[in-house]
Structure 1
């Protein structure tokens, strides 16, 4: 197994630049920081997270040894408060039923090449070859950039030996708002940049569209009640099965809370995508 980072042979203070907050979208602020950076490595470290002492040296070490263009570690999702609802949200965001096959969220056993990583540790020349973050995007700017990076022949590496702790939303309303906006910006992202997202980002849209479509048709054609019922039953069975697996050895209340959290997560995400479709004209005007 490869070591997680280089051996430290010297420690010294180095000058750094602290940029003031500017009233622009995150992508523009990131680009300002990158443009003013003087080092050979660009590392993004976001809020709502904590990082172990070896995080920086570990990612730099893997970047050097793998010759990847971007390296990241896994997210360990933890509740921001010690409540059962917050714990259920953290479990849902680490479960394949909740978030699909996002390797950095559900974890991997061995290091592997992936489509994206959280935050990222990049070689500086990557931004010279591929360009900067798309300043039209309020969300998904890292995923879209990594898609461009892979399209240009770049490689992205994920290692479970490097990790950060991500503190998720503490309540159902916060989870709903966050994922409604996530679903909304998935539609805006593909409209503005082309297909840069994974299929997993659109499964909630398919679920909600199936419910709305079959439910609406059932009002006129009673036979569609069976389709609506089949979608509901299949979802509930899947949600309860996933909840039983994730809550094993934990508080019994999580077996009830987790299916509710899954439903809030997927409904808000899917409805956000539907709203994104209905408001595309406004985004095209802004994007152009």
Structure 2
């Protein structure tokens, strides 16, 4: 039995495509249950899920009054009955063999968590949204994140999205940390690593994540990501809860702010900020130009996307640092 768990909240734009990809899975439906944990959605999300529930009794909906992801996951795990548990995201769709490939791979690769490449796409294809898609699939946009940049062979990694575990993994390593509004999956994977567990990514299947399609939504999402990188370390007291790539945008922001502050006492320090910004501008201009030529996209949209992505992420991390003295453990 496979129990698929998925936290949802106001996902009317994406939930239909997500469920349709679940229905298309080649995994036997007699051995499947799908549990959506809803954070009391105020749009049509619950209505859409209910329509599918009426047709497919193996789809269930439970309430998550806490309205954040970790309690949703933990409640769904508790409500599930499968030997194997898989976590999905409503902002994504899944290849027809996603369930079967991951379930069969758990024993084959002796994995405590197994996942696959996550491709980036957008629902509405415009010059701006296509630029966002390209940036979120480029190493300069997402660092050395293996599950985003792609693989050609099975690899051991530090984290995977939308993973698959035997139920016994939660008995060994605990459940998701409910203090973490974000990064709960990354922190859980780091916990598995520290406990001697094995996390594997396979090239046999894939998921498709639908990115935000405007600069404002991209900035809001990545501001939250950056902020919760810092708060995750604060709560867990573990720098190893995350990876080095998660803190590079913060370093960039500090390279601009600290020299400006120092210049109040010694004016030449301002040049450090100038050189940092100039170097950054040259790098993202070159990369944007390269992507624009190869994918026939607009240079200015790519440039803006890199700038919004990195600055919002780094600013979020700085905000997290400022906030930590007021956060109770």
Both proteins in one fold, TM over 0.5: yes
1:174 matched to 2:237? The reply is no
1:226 matched to 2:271? The reply is yes
1:93 matched to 2:136? The reply is yes
Higher strand fraction (1 or 2): 2
1:111 to partner: Cα distance: 1.7
Distance 1:275 1:174 in 2: 18
1:21 to partner: Cα distance: 2.2
Contact 1:19 1:33 in 2 (8 A): no
Distance 1:73 1:94 in 2: 15
1:235-250 matched pairs, under 5 angstroms: 235-250=280-295
Distance 2:182 2:69 in 1: 8
Distance 1:9 1:117 in 2: 21
Residue 175 of structure 2 is matched in structure 1 by: 132
Q: TM-score, normalised by structure 2?
A: 0.80
Residue 275 of structure 1 is matched in structure 2 by: 319
Q: Closer, same or farther in 2 for the Cα pair 1:66/1:181, shift >3 Å?
A: same
Structure 1 residue runs of 5 or longer lacking an equivalent are: 1-7
Structure 2 residue runs of 5 or longer lacking an equivalent are: 1-25, 33-56
Residue 199 of structure 1 is matched in structure 2 by: 244
1:36 to partner: Cα distance: 2.3
- From 258, 271, 277, the equivalent of 1:213 is 258
What SS does structure 2 have at the residue aligned with 1:62? helix
Distance 2:119 2:28 in 1: 30
Q: Which moved more, 1:87-96 or 1:219-228?
A: 219-228
Residue 147 of structure 1 is matched in structure 2 by: 190
Q: TM-score, normalised by structure 1?
A: 0.91
CA RMSD of aligned residues (A): 1.8
Contact 1:93 1:99 in 2 (8 A): yes
Contact 2:73 2:176 in 1 (8 A): yes
Q: Closer, same or farther in 2 for the Cα pair 1:46/1:11, shift >3 Å?
A: closer
1:23 matched to 2:68? The reply is no
Residue 122 of structure 1 is matched in structure 2 by: 165
1:264 matched to 2:308? The reply is yes
Distance 1:187 1:222 in 2: 31
Contact 1:110 1:159 in 2 (8 A): yes
Distance 2:302 2:27 in 1: 48
After superposition, give the CA deviation of every residue in 1:27-56 in whole Å (9 maximum; x if it has no partner).
Answer: 011111112222211101111101121110
Q: Closer, same or farther in 2 for the Cα pair 1:109/1:51, shift >3 Å?
A: same
What SS does structure 1 have at the residue aligned with 2:263? helix
Distance 1:119 1:10 in 2: 20
- From 149, 153, 157, the equivalent of 1:106 is 149
Contact 2:291 2:297 in 1 (8 A): no
What SS does structure 2 have at the residue aligned with 1:247? helix
Distance 2:158 2:292 in 1: 29
Distance 1:53 1:267 in 2: 37
Distance 1:234 1:189 in 2: 30
1:263 to partner: Cα distance: 0.9
Q: Which moved more, 1:205-214 or 1:244-253?
A: 244-253
Contact 2:92 2:208 in 1 (8 A): yes
Contact 2:64 2:75 in 1 (8 A): no
